[in-house]
Amino acid sequence: MTSIRQKTVWFCSSCGNESPKWMGRCPACGEWNTMVEEKVAVGKPSGAARQQGFHVPGSGQKPVPLSEIDSSAETRISLHNAEMDRILGGGLVEGSLVLIGGEPGIGKSTLSLQIPLHCSGLRTLYVTGEESARQVKLRAARLGGDDSGCLIYSETLMDNILAEARKIEPDLMVVDSVQTMFTQSIDSSPGSVSQIRETAALLLRFAKETGIPVILIGHITKEGSIAGPKILEHIVDVVLQFEGDSRGAYRILRSIKNRFGSTSELAVFEMTGKGLREVSNPSEMLIPMHEEGLSGVAVSAMLDGTRPFLIEVQALVSSAAYGTPQRSATGFDVRRLNMLLAVLEKRAGFKLGAKDVFLNMAGGLRVSDPACDLAVVAAVLSSNFDFAVPADTCFAGEVGLSGEIRPVTQTDRRINEAWRLGFKKIYVSSFGNTDNIPEGMDVVRVPDIPALCRSLFRQQP
C-alpha cells in the first residue's frame, strides 16, 4: 500500500511558486491575482509504486571530479534544415528537451511535422494530443516528404506515452502539445500548473535517461509568454518562440534560451501551401518593395545574433486631427520612439509635439537593435519634410540623449551586407572605426543629428 494523500496548495500561474494558502500577491515574482488552487499528491509511495516510476538521471552514481569529466562536443542530429540547424547551434543534441512556443496558427505543428518528413533516416514518434491521427495524416500529405519513419500516436496520458516510447526507442519524439498532456499522479486537469510541471519533469527524465531528444510544442498567453509556469522554461534545454503575424506570409523563430548554442539567433521562414520554407536571405523580403521617391522610408543595416540583414523602416508624420498627438509603433519599442522624438525636438529643433507619428517595421519583424535608431530618425524626418531618402542609402547608428550618433557593433559586417545588396551609401557614427570598406561604397560619418540633416536633406529646396 502507498502512503500517498492529497492536499490543496496554491500555485502562481506566472512563476510557479507554491504557497500553502491564497495570497493576493505572489511573494516570489510580485504579480497580483495569479494564485490558482490545485490538489497535489504528497507522501512516499510503496515499493511497487516506485518500480513504476522514473529514476532521476545519474542516480546511484558517485561524485566525479570536474577534471575527469569528458568535455568533448555533444552528439548532434542534423534536421536537414539549414535554418533550424543554425538556430539550434549545429543540430539537435541527443537527450535534449526543446520547447517551441507561438500563437495559434503560426506554424508550430507544421514545423514539428516537417522535421520527421524531411529527415528520411530519422525514426520519429509524433505524439498528438490535440488532433486525431487522421488529421495529422491529412496535414502530412499536404506537406509532402517521406513519412515511412514517422509514427503517429494519439494519446494524452504520459504513462502510456513513455511506455510506448521506451518500447519503440525512436530517434526523436515530438509532443504536441505539452498543455494537453497529463499524468495520473496529479489530481488536476490537463494544462494546470502542476500538470505541466510534472509532465515536463517526466519528459526531461526520459530524454536524459534514454538520450532521445524530445521536442515540445507549447501555447503562449495573450501577454506573449509561454503558457504555464515559468519553471517550464527553466526545465527545458532550448526555448524557441515564433514571432510574426499569423495572417502574414513570414514567420520568425527566435532563440530565447539555448544551453548548447547562442541565444542571439533567429531563423526566418515563409508559410506556403506546402509548409514552412526557409528564407536563407531575409534581407530580400525586408528591403523596399515599392517605387522610388516615397517619403517616410529608410533602410537600416541591423544585426540580430550573428546575422546581418537590412530592414525597411516606415514612418508617417501628420498633423494631429483629434487634439492629442498619437504615438504608435509596430515592431519597435514605442518608449524608444518617444525618446527619439524628444531628442529631435530638444537637440535639433524639430517641432513634432503637435503631430501624429506612426512607425512600422517591414515584414512583421520585432526590432531591438539600437542601430535602427538612425533609420527611425531619418524616416521620421523624411515624412515630416515630405522628402524621399535616396533608395541606395541605408543607416546604422545609435542615437544618444544629447543627439550624438554612437557607433554600433560589427559595423564592417553591416557595410558589407549593404554593399552586397546593391546599396551605394551608408550613414554611420563618426566615432567608430571601419576597415575593409568595399570598393564603390560611400561611408558617410556623422557625429550628431544636425549633421545628419545637413548631409541627408541638403538637396531639399
Q: Is 311 left (phi over 0), alpha (psi -120 to 50) or beta?
A: beta
Binding residues for ATP: 102-109
- With cell 518500447, the residue in question is 167
- SS3 string, the chain, reads CCCCEEEEEEEECCCCCEECCCCCECCCCCCECCEEEEEEEECCCCHHHHHCCCCCCCCCCCCCCHHHCCCCCCCEECCCCHHHHHHCCCCEECCCEEEEEECCCCCHHHHHHHHHHCCCCCCEEEEECCCCHHHHHHHHHHHCCCCCCEEEEECCEHHHHHHHHHHHCCCEEEEECHHHCECCCCCCCCCCHHHHHHHHHHHHHHHHHHCCCEEEEEEECCCCCECCCCHHHHHCCEEEEEECCCCCCEEEEEEEEECCCCCCCEEEEEEECCEEEECCCCHHHHCCCCCCCCCCEEEEEEEECCEEEEEEEEEEEEECCCCCCCEEEECCCHHHHHHHHHHHHHHCCCCCCCEEEEEEEHHHCCCCCHHHHHHHHHHHHHHHHCCCCCCCEEECCEECCCCEEECCCCHHHHHHHHHHCCCCEEEEECCCCCCCCCCCCEEEEECEHHHHHHHHCCCCC
- With cell 553591416, the residue in question is 414
Binding residues: 102-109
